[in-house]
Amino acid sequence: MEFVAQQTMNALSFGAEYALLALGLAIVFSIMGLVNFAHGEIIAVGGYTMVAMAALSLNNPFIVIGAAILVASIGSVTLERVAFRPVRYADPTTGLLTAFGVSIVLQNLFLLLVSPRPIAVTSLYFLEWPISFAGLRISSLQLFETLTTIIVIVVMMLFLKKTVLGLAMRAAAMDFEMVRLTGIRANRVFAAAFLISGLLAGIACVFIMARRGSVDPHLGFDPVLMAFVACVVGGFGSLPGAVIGGFLLGAIEVTMLVLLPQSLGGMTDAFVFGSIALLLIWRPDGILTPPREKGDKQ
């Protein structure tokens, strides 16, 4: 019984992180059809900011966390302005390839301008300590991450429901041109989407750094891959889908870790992706969308 509860906690915290990452991708995709592969590099930017804070001897955790989130958000908006604006109205494939290119450029810029080697980030270690209650042993970080993700999701829901900008973003996912025809500026909607995406990346970065303790140029690759898969599972572009996909992915991963015998231990990735592939065969457009016959009325 404790084992199940323990693993459930694991699944929740894995899932929470994936959900957070997936939301960052989904919000940009839902509005402009862009698969932002550079999302991972925004996380890395947050990590490098933390390094910079340490170098400036600013070790106050609030400053470190705040700076990382701030720089990630601003970086994300800047990226949109500089790199993605020319391909704003292009087809999804063009955008995807541009994002790929931006990702590679950024990774190599980190390599070039900072260092190819991992740099330690120790200022967040304090966030992690073991907690035991009701016979469960979990890490405080897991608790924080799960709670933070839930709060983030609630805040986002409120934003999207209550504010005009949030409404505009939801409408833009359906018919961007019409949003412009009501006089709402396209630039503002896009900037907002990327700002939120960057914010989410920054928050995820805090947890990733607290766990890993170091940053390197290729840090962003694994998270963005998982975020990508989570989005696909939930239905690319759907925000609730991203959340569900994230938690589902966490659950699958924990299940595989638990079920696979020792000998196949290294194969977790392959099995996880294999399950995802099977899922996609069943529901190609993601879990939430039943397969649609082409030509059906929308």
Partner 1 sequence: MLVIQNLKVFHGPIEAVHGISFTVKEGSCVSLLGPNGAGKTSTISAITGVAKSTGSIKFADEDISVLPVETRIRKGIAVSPEGRRVFANLSVRENLRLGGAYNPNDIDSLIAEWFETFPILGERQHQLAGTLSGGEQQMLAIARALMSEPRILLLDEPSLGLAPKIVTQIFTMIEQLKEKRMTILLVEQNATLALRLSDHAYLLNNGHIVADGTAETLGSNDTLMAELTGLA
Partner 2 sequence: MSLSRSQKRGLVGASLLAFVLIMVGTIATYFGSKYQLRIVYGSYVSLMVVLALQVFMGNARITNLSHSAFMGIGAYAAAICVTPIAMKKISLPNAPWGLNAFALDPVTSGIIAIVITAVIALLVGLFIVRLSGIGATIVSLAVLVIVHSLFLYRTDIFKGNQAFFGIPQVFTLTSAIIIAVIMVYIVRGFKESRWGIALRASADDEISAAAMGVNVHRLRLLAWVLSGVLLGVAGIAYSYYLGTISARPFYFNHVFLTLAMLILGGMRTVTGAVLGTFLISFGLEWVRWLETGPTVLGLKFPEVLGLSGVVLGSVIVLIMALRPGGIMGDREIEDFILKK
Q: Which residues bind partner 1 (CB under 8 A)?
A: 164, 167-168, 170-171, 173-175, 177-186
54 contact, one of partner 2, partner 1, none, CB 5-8 Å limit per kind: none
Q: Which of 33, 21, 46 is nearest to 106 (CA)?
A: 46
**73 vs 234: CA distance, rounded Å:** 25
Q: What is the largest CA-CA distance in the chain?
A: 61
Cα of first residue to Cα of last residue in the chain, in angstroms, is 47
Task: Count how many residues are written for the chain.
Answer: 298
| Element housing 76 (H / E) | helix 61-79
Residue 158 contact among partner 2, partner 1, none, beta carbon within 5 to 8 Å by kind: none
Nearer to partner 2, 51 or 226 (CB): 226
Specify the residue, 137 or 161, whose C-beta has the smaller distance to partner 1.
161
Residue 100 binds which entry of partner 2, partner 1, none, CB below 5-8 Å type-dependent: partner 2
Q: Could you give the CA distance from residue 247 to residue 23 in angstroms, rounded to a whole number?
A: 12
**Identity of the residue numbered 177:** E
Look at residue 167 and give the partner it binds from partner 1, partner 2, none, a contact being a CB closer than 5 to 8 Å depending on partner kind.
Answer: partner 1
Closest C-alpha to 18, from 129, 149, 160: 149
CA-wise closest residue to 204 among 44, 13, 43, 26: 43
In angstroms, rounded to a whole number, what is the distance separating the alpha carbons of residues 250 and 12? Answer: 7
Candidates 56, 105, 157, 258; binder of partner 2 (CB under 8 A) is 105
Distance CA 9, CA 251 (A): 10
Q: Which two tokens stand for residue 192?
A: 């907002």
d(CA 256, CA 265): 9
187 or 274, CB closer to partner 2? 274
Nearer to partner 2, 77 or 168 (CB): 77
Q: Does 98 interact with partner 2 (rule: CB under 8 A)?
A: yes
- Distance of alpha carbon 128 from alpha carbon 207, whole angstroms: 10
Placement of tokens 């505009």 in the chain: 168
By CB under 8 A, tell whether 134 contacts partner 2.
Answer: no
Q: Quick one: what does residue 101 bind among partner 2, partner 1, none, with the CB cut-off 5 to 8 Å set by partner type?
A: partner 2
Q: How far is the CB of 284 from partner 1 (least distance, A)?
A: 22
Give the DSSP letter of residue 57: T
* Phi (first) and psi of residue 210, to 5 degrees: -60, -30
Q: Binders of partner 2: how many residues, by CB under 8 A?
A: 48
Q: What are the residues whose beta carbons fall under 8 Å from the beta carbon of 194, sequence distance 6 or more?
A: 28, 76, 77, 79, 80, 84
Residue nearer to partner 2 on the CB measure, 92 or 213: 92
Does position 236 bind partner 2 by CB under 8 A?
yes
Q: Which is nearer to partner 2, 122 or 187 (CB)?
A: 187
Decide whether 179 or 254 has the Cβ nearer to partner 1.
179
221 interface partner picked from partner 2, partner 1, none, CB below 5 to 8 A per type: partner 2
Q: Does residue 160 bind partner 2 (CB under 8 A)?
A: no
Considering CB distances under 5 to 8 angstroms, the limit depending on partner class, which of partner 2, partner 1, none binds residue 184?
partner 1
| Beta carbon of residue 144, minimum distance to partner 2 (angstroms, whole number) | 29
The binding site for partner 2 (CB under 8 A) comprises 33, 35, 83, 86-87, 90, 92-94, 96-98, 100-112, 116, 217, 221, 225, 228-229, 232, 236, 264, 266-267, 269-270, 273-274, 276-277, 280-281, 284-285, 294-295
